[in-house]
Amino acid sequence: MSETQQPLIELDLEGSRISLLGTAHVSRVSAESVRQLLQSGRFDAVAVELCPSRYNAMLNPDVLAQMDLFRVFREGKAMLVMANLALGAYQQRMADQFGIQPGEEFRVAIEQARAAGYPVMLIDREVATTLKRTIARVRWWQRLEVVGLLLASVISKEQVSEEEIERLKEGDMLESAFGQFAEQSAEIFQPLVAERDRYMAARLRQEVRSQGPEQLLVVVGAGHLKGMAEALQQPLADPEAVITELDQMPRKGSRWLSYLPWLIVTLVVGGFAIGFSRSPNLGWSLVADWVLINGGLSALGALLAAAHPLTVLTAFLAAPLTSLNPTIGAGMVTAAAEVYLRKPRVGDFSRLRQDTTALRGWWQNRVSRTLLVFLFSTLGSAVGTYVAGFRIFDKLAG
């Protein structure tokens, strides 16, 4: 522990003295420790565990109010937005419990550095890249586990004592917790923690070589201290190569998986053709099953999301058609309908982060409810595709 009672590792890096300060992101003590260190006059530069998008969101609280929902759905970023909201919900609740903003230590570091004229270095990887690389590494059932963990963070009402928050910064406990997490899910641990340790260490080398600070304070979550220190103590000639490697979007799965949706469409349409070739009654019966099951389950999903009645009807009509065209998802159509029928107000965007800290808030806020409409109607259509498909081939085989 340092004189500030926070985990602190000091080391030399290519002529600069680096001080790695471990923090908890909803801790008043962490924020005050950052303030004390920067007011000591020891440092001439600051680095923080933020990526450009998180930095902009922190400095511009109205960034969510500027979100273009249509663009979010069109670019396939709805799940990413939902994941970010869910990830922030638990942290926001703890912050509200202790009367402190999430990431207050970063805000203090930025404000103090600006006041003193120090450069502020953003060293973390873009959160979107981290989430995409995480999802790409896990199997489909593990993705359900990740979704379950995110949902649990929203539903949980557990109160955490401030003493427990502070104990999170005791290195051995935190490293032990991460070690246990790694054993249970190494696929998740690597992109969420280990890769970011390497990435931030490489970014620090970049900044040190370009700006050459004498004394650099690095403010990061305590769980990154050990990994970053180990990476910084290893020789690295080309940090840019590490950054490029870890910034790569994940490769898509096997090529045949990209053809799977079209294969399903071919089988379903082929089933219709076989049915009509046997008898018109059988053919129309198969089509009716497809519409009722696929459209019904998608409409049920929209209904569970408390969508507008016309959006529910849209889900019922659109899902059987979009399921035969993999380039358009049912969720995109239903979300567009919901936005048109219940256009989110400015207040919905401004309250979005706060509303999503409670489960009922996801349904009360028009923005998050539209995201739920997208998610639930998409899931309903996906389940309906397989259920209806098996029903069709069961009839053909009967």
pLDDT bucket at 175, cuts 50 / 70 / 90: very low
- pLDDT for the residue numbered 282: 92
Backbone angles phi, psi at 47, to 5 degrees: -125, 140
Quote the pLDDT of residue 16: 93
Does position 177 have pLDDT exceeding 60, yes or no?
Answer: no
% of the chain with per-residue pLDDT over 70: 75
Q: Is the predicted pLDDT of residue 158 greater than 70, yes or no?
A: no
Range with lowest mean pLDDT among 25-29, 97-101, 393-397: 97-101
pLDDT tens digit sequence for 348-373: 777 777 788 777 888 998 988 998 99
Residue 49 confidence class, pLDDT cut points 50, 70, 90:
very high
Give the per-residue pLDDT at 35.
92
Look up residue 256 and give its amino acid: W
Residue 264 CA to residue 324 CA, distance in Å, equals: 8
Q: Are 227 and 177 in contact (CB under 8 A)?
A: no
pLDDT at 172: 41
* pLDDT at 156 > cutoff 50: yes
Instruction: Return mean pLDDT, the chain.
Output: 81
**Structure tokens given for 126:** 């873009």
The token duo for 78 is 């709805």
Q: Is it the case that residue 61 has pLDDT exceeding 70?
A: no
CA atoms within 13 A on the CB side of 268: 28
Q: Give the span between the Cα atoms of 185 and 193, in whole angstroms.
A: 12
Characterize the bridge pairing of strands 45-48 and 120-122.
parallel
Among candidates 311, 329, 320, 265, which has minimal Cα distance to 76? 329
Q: Are strands 120-122 and 215-221 parallel, antiparallel or unpaired?
A: unpaired
DSSP state for residue 122 in the 8-state scheme: E
Report pLDDT for 2.
47
- pLDDT > 80? residue 117: yes
pLDDT tens track for 178-222? 444 445 566 677 888 889 999 999 999 999 999 989 999 999 988
> What count of residues does the chain have?
398
Rounded to whole angstroms, how far apart are CA atoms 206 and 125?
Answer: 14
DSSP assignment string, 98-118? HT--TTHHHHHHHHHHHHHT-
Q: What are phi and psi of 219, to 5 degrees?
A: -105, 110
Phi, psi of 69 (to 5 degrees): -60, -40
Residue 163 clears pLDDT 60, i.e. is over it:
no
Q: Are the C-beta atoms of residues 366 and 339 closer than 8 Å to each other? A: no
The stretch 147-164 carries a mean pLDDT of 57
* Complete edge-to-edge strand list for the sheet that includes strand 45-48: 8-13, 16-23, 215-221, 45-48, 120-122
Using 50, 70 and 90 to split pLDDT, how confident is the model at 129?
confident
Q: What are phi and psi of 9, to 5 degrees?
A: -120, 130
For 325, how many CA atoms within 13 A lie in the half-sphere containing its CB? 12
- 16-23/120-122 β-pairing: unpaired
